[in-house]
Amino acid sequence: MQLIVESLFNGIAIGSVLLVAALGLAIVFGLMGVINLAHGELMMIGAYSTYVTQLIFKLPAFQQFYNSYIIVSLGVAFLVSAVVGIVLESLIIKRLYGNPLETLLATWGVSLILQQFVRSVPLAYGTGLIISLIIGLGLPIILPKNLFVSHQSKFFRLGIWSISVVFGLLTANGLSSAISKLGRSSSRNVDVTAPSWMRGGIEFWDITFPVTRLVIIVITIISVIAVSWFLNRSIWGMRIRAVTQNRSMSECLGISTKKVDILTFAIGSGLAGVAGVAVSLLGSVGPNVGANYIVGCFMVVVLGGVGNLLGTIIASFGIGIMTDLIGAGRLLEIWPEMPSSIASTVNFFATTSMARVLVFALIVVFLQFKPAGLFPQKGRMVEG
């Protein structure tokens, strides 16, 4: 029984990482029909945002609050990834709606660009660029609208972007000096150190539950509840669902579909950033960290049913539990009297990478019989 409980916990922990990573993709791919291959790189940006937040909290002025940096990094990662997603949607995606092949190729190119950007540009100056984008895009939302409808609106916008560039440069210089004072290297592979309260484990029933994985599960639960509430209870959530069902009728009813598109992409990208926080707690952060999860995310969304939140949850935990049962060899321990032919096959796939191959192969076979996933989409599809 203990072995089953331990396997279920490990499977849920693996599934939680997949779920929080797939939530944003489920919104962008499921509700908007956009195949975003740069979703993994948005996770990477969230992971690097966590590392930068950790560096800032190691400075003398913030060191007394160091143990709370992981909570702050959740908001920072969401905001940073959401801003990058807004820029991506405004510059590229909005011109490609209804063209899935072109969108796929464009976002694949963006993913390669972001990976190379991380490899080539120092972390401090990349952070300064993000700060500039946040200020430049955020101030027009905060400031009074009448400033941007007068004949002097061009000067206001020019002033805002000038201020954002100055703040970005100051941030880059300050962070660069902070990194040098802390003795950090300029390596692209960095490590996020969990605060003291997240280290170790909780003993229960002779089983050790790592606190880090418990925190990731809690982050996942909060993310699912927040997404569910937003889509089903908030005004903008209902507008998103209305545009999903019938774009033309929503425009006739006065719903700004452009704002809905931007908001949807921002939320999906922000959730990818939150996934990056979870991923950063499990291992080193590098330019390819997001690429390790993108295939699994698409598998989760397709298996659960495009745009179905419940299906995404079940698919994530199902894949996680199967991966742990097969990859860790627990299935042989739980079922010791397994027929030799099956046991040899299970033993062959008893590694994490091979278990993932077997699970994905089983998903492909399952989709041959239910191509729409566990919970097929009902009602009218998104109109091009």
Rounded CA gap, 100 and 105, in Å?
A: 9
Query: Has domain 2-122+186-369 been given CATH number 1.10.1760?
Result: no
Cα dist from 197 to 200, 332, 370, whole Å: 8, 35, 44
CA-closest candidate to residue 36, choices 294, 271, 217, 282: 294
Q: Is the dihedral of CA 359, 287, 313, 244 positive or negative?
A: negative
Query: 141-145, 211-215, 281-285, 291-295: lowest mean pLDDT where?
Result: 141-145
Long-range contacts of 354-363 (CB under 8 A, 24+ apart): 354/327, 355/322, 355/323, 355/326, 355/327, 356/296, 356/323, 356/327, 358/326, 359/319, 359/322, 359/323, 359/326, 360/295, 360/299, 362/322, 363/299, 363/302, 363/303, 363/319
| Tens digit of each residue's pLDDT (9 = 90 or more) over 220-264 | 899 889 888 888 888 888 888 787 777 778 888 888 878 888 888
Contacts of 61 (CB under 8 A, 6+ apart): none
Angle between helices 69-91 and 123-142 (to 10 degrees): 70
Predicted confidence at residue 183, as pLDDT, reads 52
| Tens digit of each residue's pLDDT (9 = 90 or more) over 277-298 | 888 888 788 888 888 888 888 8
Measured in whole angstroms, how far is the alpha carbon of residue 311 from the centre of its chain?
18
Domain positions in the chain are 2-122+186-369
Read off the pTM.
Answer: 0.83
| Tens digit of each residue's pLDDT (9 = 90 or more) over 45-90 | 888 888 888 888 887 777 788 888 888 889 989 988 888 888 888 8
